[in-house]
Amino acid sequence: RMPNSLLKLPRVLLSHKHRALFILILMLVSFAYLMYWRITEDSYGSGLYNLPAEFSCAHSVPFSLPNAGEPPPSRGNVFFVETSEQTNPGYLFSCSVESAARAHPGTSVVVLMKGLAKGNASLPKHWAFSLLSCFPNVEIRPLDLPALFSGTPLKKWYLWPLRRWEPYFLPVLSDACRIVLMWKFGGIYLDTDFIVLRNLQNLTNSLGIQSEDELNGAFLSFKPKHKFMELCMKDFVKNYNGWIWGHQGPYLLTRVFKKWCPIRTIQSMSCKGVRALAPEAVYPIPWQDWKKLFEATSASELHKLLKNTYAVHIWNQMSHRTRLEIPSHALLARLYSQFCPATYAKMKQD
């Protein structure tokens, strides 16, 4: 038996023809709108993040691993760290990892991301993860911070409940991760705004000079349990100040190196087995001149600039809002095209 409300519906519709017609049209439009977005979302989820044909792994990864019978001596992993919750990498992130993977074909390139849920076997659907999965030496893993800091002087520092309210917590957290990674595991650490030009494994126990009398930790290369990294961890806690930008990063490395030697002024040098690399090694473009990355450069100028360079730091903190024309003769565009061609092809497509 039909409810009374349904029996009365025809009378209501007849007595309020215009109002009913308006409601009906509104309902149909809403339904069509919802169905449109549902179809769009389904196609977005199923197809947008799939690698386009030109990114098929066979074509976008033209490098070979060493012969199985002749494995190279292990010198540790290459590490990248993402301390934010983001899981949607951009072009520069992809280029950093791709260029490192190409320059170190016999080495694991480990990308640690805080935003990845532990225990989840599949990565988020994103073109960068699809592209990087083409490289057999790239591993993308969750960043387990309590486990990383366990057994180090930074454990108590990290567990302090009010730590996350500090103004520079994320960059400071990144500073903490890199020195602990180097102390625990050794290998190479790189920020995700580097483009790697050649193999970095000959630069053991070294870090780069970014400007006059100042070191930077965007690149680090150390053997595990190295005394210099141990001193960096101790200084991190003893002289901690999360309210000054760079105090736990470049300033920390600079003051520890000056005590390590001991010296008053840092220059390109080797001291007690630790090397301070000249700026052209990994910081050929000073941070003050970051706009040069977006200026046109000739092939001869590029060759001259990169003659003694292992990697180029892009200074994403300053440069991330600057538009880069693809293709173009800009220095950064040339670096993309030469050292991360798969990422560059994606940029051109977009």
Q: Provide the pairing of β-strand 214-222 with 109-113.
A: unpaired
Q: What is the pLDDT of residue 18?
A: 57
Sign of the Cα torsion 28, 29, 35, 38 reads negative
Q: What is the pLDDT of residue 61?
A: 62
Q: What is the pLDDT of residue 19?
A: 59
Would the pLDDT of 24 be above 70? no
Query: In the chain, what are the domain boundaries?
Result: 78-278
Please give the structure tokens belonging to residue 307: 């003659």
Cα(5)–Cα(30) distance, rounded to whole angstroms? 24
Q: What's the rounded mean pLDDT across residues 130-153? A: 96
Cα(293)–Cα(314) distance, rounded to whole angstroms? 8
Q: What's the rounded mean pLDDT across residues 135-163? A: 94
> 78-278 adopts what CATH topology?
Spore Coat Polysaccharide Biosynthesis Protein SpsA; Chain A (3.90.550)
293-343 tens-digit pLDDT: 999 999 999 998 889 999 999 999 999 999 999 999 999 999 999 999 999
Please give the structure tokens belonging to residue 289: 């001149």
**What mean pLDDT value characterizes the chain?**
84
268-290 tens-digit pLDDT: 999 999 999 999 999 999 999 99
Q: What is the pLDDT of residue 75?
A: 72
The SS3 call for residue 271 is strand
Q: Provide the pairing of β-strand 214-222 with 187-190.
A: antiparallel
What is the amino acid identity at position 201? Q
Q: What is the pLDDT of residue 245?
A: 93
Q: What's the rounded mean pLDDT across residues 235-264? A: 96
Sign of the Cα torsion 275, 308, 106, 128 reads positive
From 6-10, 44-48, 205-209, 313-317, the region with the lowest mean pLDDT: 44-48
Q: What's the rounded mean pLDDT across residues 149-171? A: 92
Contact yes or no for 208/281 (Cβ under 8 A): yes
Angle formed by the axes of helices 91-103 and 331-339, nearest 10°: 50
212-242 tens-digit pLDDT: 899 999 999 999 999 999 999 999 999 999 9
CA distances from 119 to 116, 122, 143, 154, 173 (A): 9, 9, 12, 25, 23
Cis omega before residue 10 (within 30°)? no
Would the pLDDT of 27 be above 90? no
Would the pLDDT of 168 be above 70? yes
Contact yes or no for 224/212 (Cβ under 8 A): no
User: In sequence order, which residues have a C-beta less than 8 Å from that of residue 289 and are 6 or more positions away?
Assistant: none
DSSP-derived secondary structure letter, 139 = E
